[in-house]
Homo-oligomer: A and B are copies of this chain.
Amino acid sequence: MHILVLGAAGMVGRKFLERLADDGHLGGKAIRHASLHDVVMPAAPAGAAFTVSLSASDLSAAGEAAKLVAGRPDLIVHLAAIVSGEAEADFDKGYRINLDGTRDLFEAVRAVADGYCPRLVFTSSIAVFGAPFHDRIGDEFHLTPLTSYGTQKAIGELLLADYSRRGIFDGIGIRLPTVCVRPGKPNKAASGFFSNIIREPLAGLEAVLPVSDDVRHWHASPRSAVNFLIHAATMNLAAVGPRRNLSMPGLSCTVAEQIAALERIAGKTVTARIRRVPDPVIQGIVAGWPRNFDPARALALGFRSETSFDDIIRVHIDDELGGSFVS
């Protein structure tokens, strides 16, 4: 099979491709070729038995989406997006990439016609939801995003469902929890501290916690995010029906529970590296975010994630730190 990955240079894209290279197949079908695209040049995964083509361009530029689907990929994984902070700071860029780019991609698939109907996996986000919430957000709760990024993702979901209903592609949208523990350096994302307070102490470094310990949030590991993509790419979509967008399972816990899990796994010396520096701006942003979900449909359809924050930390130590940490 031929797979097209948009946003292939991002963290989830890279991990998805590494997994495909390791497995060599997807849902029992041998992978023949992967086309990787991003706004910066993506890298081919190491050790892949399939051929790889790489390209970098602006997805929303005229003709770009058509070029990408011209090879009639069997599976399109659309991870490309301007992130929340940038989409909020640059109104035009966010709408151009996240809305127009997505629509251009969908239209390019439609233009191929001639019986072409690929599987299309779209990564949405819990940012499609906006406070106030019930204790757990159910599968029938309305989408009232409080950011332009969340608005653009919610519009992508609506387009995905309509294009799927029309038989233009066989689409599924998956709302990812906050991916934690995110590897790499601390970044300026308002959600960064959820990962920073685990990753940095395990590396022997200090991390800043800008919110109070009772803040609750919704997490899944990078490994689970890849598992969601693989399940979405291979599952029988007939069981999904016309409601093509699903909140993925995750783990709801407080910052205090994150820190308690870290202490169980790595000890007090490690958790002592967390420094509490309250930041009212970040506290305000985080107050509008989802805290907990009841992802009944996704669970019934076979999506799975971690069931304890201990497991999320162990995934990080196994996948990123080679099994050890700085005690």
Which residues of A are at the interface with B, using a C-beta cutoff of 8 A? 91, 130, 139-146, 148, 151, 154-155, 158-159, 161-162, 165-166, 242-243
Judge whether B159 and A151 touch: CB under 8 Å.
yes
**Besides the known contacts A146-B165, A151-B159, 8 further A-B residue pairs in the complex with CB atoms under 8 A apart:** A139-B142, A141-B142, A143-B143, A144-B161, A148-B166, A151-B162, A154-B158, A155-B159
Judge whether A158 and B151 touch: CB under 8 Å.
yes
A148 interface neighbour in B139, B142, B143, B162, Cβ under 8 Å = B162
Judge whether A130 and B162 touch: CB under 8 Å.
no
Could you tell me the distance between the alpha carbons of A158 and B156 in the complex, rounded to whole angstroms? 11
Nearest Cβ on chain B to A203's Cβ, whole angstroms: 38
A143 interface neighbour in B91, B142, B242, Cβ under 8 Å = B142
Judge whether B130 and A242 touch: CB under 8 Å.
yes
Could you tell me the distance between the alpha carbons of A230 and B257 in the complex, rounded to whole angstroms? 51
Nearest Cβ on chain B to A128's Cβ, whole angstroms: 9
Which B residues lie within 8 Å of A148 (CB)?
A: 162, 166
Which B residues lie within 8 Å of A243 (CB)?
A: 130, 144
Nearest Cβ on chain B to A288's Cβ, whole angstroms: 10
A100: nearest residue on chain B (CB-CB)?
B103
Could you tell me the distance between the alpha carbons of A303 and B270 in the complex, rounded to whole angstroms? 58
Count chain B CB atoms within 10 A of each CB in A142, A143, A162, A165 and give the residue with the most: A162
Judge whether B155 and A158 touch: CB under 8 Å.
yes
Judge whether A158 and B142 touch: CB under 8 Å.
no
Q: A151-B162, A158-B155, A161-B151 are in contact. Are A144 and B242 (CB under 8 A)?
A: yes
Pairs across A and B, CB under 8 Å, 9 listed: A91-B166, A144-B243, A145-B158, A145-B161, A148-B166, A151-B161, A151-B162, A155-B159, A158-B158
Could you tell me the distance between the alpha carbons of A151 and B159 in the complex, rounded to whole angstroms? 7
Count chain B CB atoms within 10 A of each CB in A143, A146, A154, A158 and give the residue with the most: A158
Judge whether B140 and A162 touch: CB under 8 Å.
no
Nearest Cβ on chain B to A164's Cβ, whole angstroms: 11
Q: A148-B162, A155-B155 are in contact. Are A140 and B142 (CB under 8 A)?
A: yes
Could you tell me the distance between the alpha carbons of A145 and B160 in the complex, rounded to whole angstroms? 12
Could you tell me the distance between the alpha carbons of A297 and B242 in the complex, rounded to whole angstroms? 28
Nearest Cβ on chain B to A102's Cβ, whole angstroms: 12
Which B residues lie within 8 Å of A155 (CB)?
A: 155, 158-159
Which B residues lie within 8 Å of A142 (CB)?
A: 139-143
Judge whether A141 and B143 touch: CB under 8 Å.
no
Which B residues lie within 8 Å of A159 (CB)?
A: 151, 155
Which B residues lie within 8 Å of A141 (CB)?
A: 140, 142
Could you tell me the distance between the alpha carbons of A206 and B159 in the complex, rounded to whole angstroms? 41
Nearest Cβ on chain B to A19's Cβ, whole angstroms: 31
A133: nearest residue on chain B (CB-CB)?
B140
Which B residues lie within 8 Å of A162 (CB)?
A: 145, 148, 151
Nearest Cβ on chain B to A247's Cβ, whole angstroms: 11
Could you tell me the distance between the alpha carbons of A243 and B162 in the complex, rounded to whole angstroms? 23
Which B residues lie within 8 Å of A165 (CB)?
A: 146
Could you tell me the distance between the alpha carbons of A252 and B140 in the complex, rounded to whole angstroms? 22
Could you tell me the distance between the alpha carbons of A165 and B146 in the complex, rounded to whole angstroms? 8
